[in-house]
Amino acid sequence: MISIVGIAVTTAALVILISAFNGIEQMIDRMYSEFDTDLTIIPKNSKTFHTSQIDFSKIQKMEGIQSISKAIEELVILKNGDKWVNAKLIGVDSSFLGIANMNNHLLHNKRIKDYSSFILPGAELLEKLQIGMDHEDNYEPVVLYAPKRKIAIKPGQNPFYLEKADVTAIMNYNRDVNSEVILTDFQFATNLLQYENECSSIWIDLKENIIAEDVKIKLQEKLGAGFIIKTRFEKNELIFKTSQSEKIIVIGILIFVFILAAFNLIASLTMLFVEKKKNFTTFLSFGMTKKNIFSIFFLEGILISATGLILGLVLGYFICFMQIWGSLIVLPGTSEAFPIGLTLKDGILITVLVSVLSFAFSYFTVHFLIRNNFSNEFLIRKMD
């Protein structure tokens, strides 16, 4: 029973923690997937490029592409009253609002009615600037300071373009977006930055079940070496790789814990072997061989492991389903349930992993006991 409990608890821990990391990965992907499009095209050797360098109509007609949006990015300063904050201005086409499901990510139940004109600061920028609302629930306007390009700054000359703008709504996505980004329509950004037929990047949304890497390769062939194309994963590579690395490390630690728990299995088989050792003469008298006795104890180890594995899987998945249905644990500082992601692949992986380790421990333990207790002299003496 001690061996069964040890294997069951370790197996359940594998199920719960791997499912929790899956949930975290899915949450991260969900947080970044709506604001970050599937593919992003940026110039290789410059900050911006002329829109005539790319045939947008041909890109739009490519297989697998749902929609595209031009984007302008620039660091700006935002001011509200005596509050100042640095931010990243991103001007996009109105099509991006649909791609990003923007109306589902706005605070205070706001909705965007005019997709051709909008000013959308992130939620943390709202707090830093202390943007208030009037009696009609309209936000206070903000002043944007954008750096002038390609000019020699002289004493007393203002190095910034200034624009006062009414805030349409406050968007809420993830920490990076909320704390850094103010999203505007493409025309507003173009006018503020004094750009002419230029953009910083192109954001591409793909149709469902389309592999981003395949479209990326085709796009790269069309655009040539002057542009770099990044997938959503590549844009947030550090975040996704960190999550995956943590998952691998935790699985490694749990495997080590399982190996420690497997010593209970070794002890159980050894004690069982010692207890039954006095009956070996009877076994041999019945005509059993060393191979038959090996099979008995080996199958005993497999049965112990299988029982622990089944109980562990049942316990682990039961706790996971309880978390999904009952929200037993919530994320710190929120009312949102800690995410759990269940996949068939992970269930198979855990089953195979525990089975292989249990098989190995049972086999080598019994093989060692048989080899050291059933020498040729022992067998001859017992038969005599």
pLDDT tens-digit readout, 248-291: 887 788 788 878 878 888 888 888 888 887 777 777 777 888 88
Helix axes 290-326, 344-373, angle to 10 degrees: 150
Mean pLDDT on 155-180: 86
Per-residue pLDDT tens digits for 102-130? 988 898 888 888 888 899 999 999 999 99
Residue predicted with more confidence, 349 or 277 = 349
Say which residue, 285 or 16, is predicted with more confidence. 16
DSSP string across 153-204: --TT---EEEEEE-----B---HHHHHHEEEEEHHHHHHHHT-SSEESEEEE
DSSP character at residue 83: E
pLDDT at 154: 67
Query: In this predicted model, what pLDDT tens digit does every residue of 242-251 receive, in sequence order?
Result: 777 877 887 7
Q: Which comes out higher in pLDDT, residue 374 or 137?
A: 137
Query: Is residue 1 very low, low, confident or very high in pLDDT (cuts 50, 70, 90)?
Result: confident
On the question of pLDDT at 88 being above 90, the answer is: yes
Q: Would the pTM count as exceeding 0.75?
A: no
From the number of C-beta atoms within 10 Å of its C-beta (0-12, 13-18, 19+), residue 136 rates as exposed
pLDDT at position 32 over 80:
no
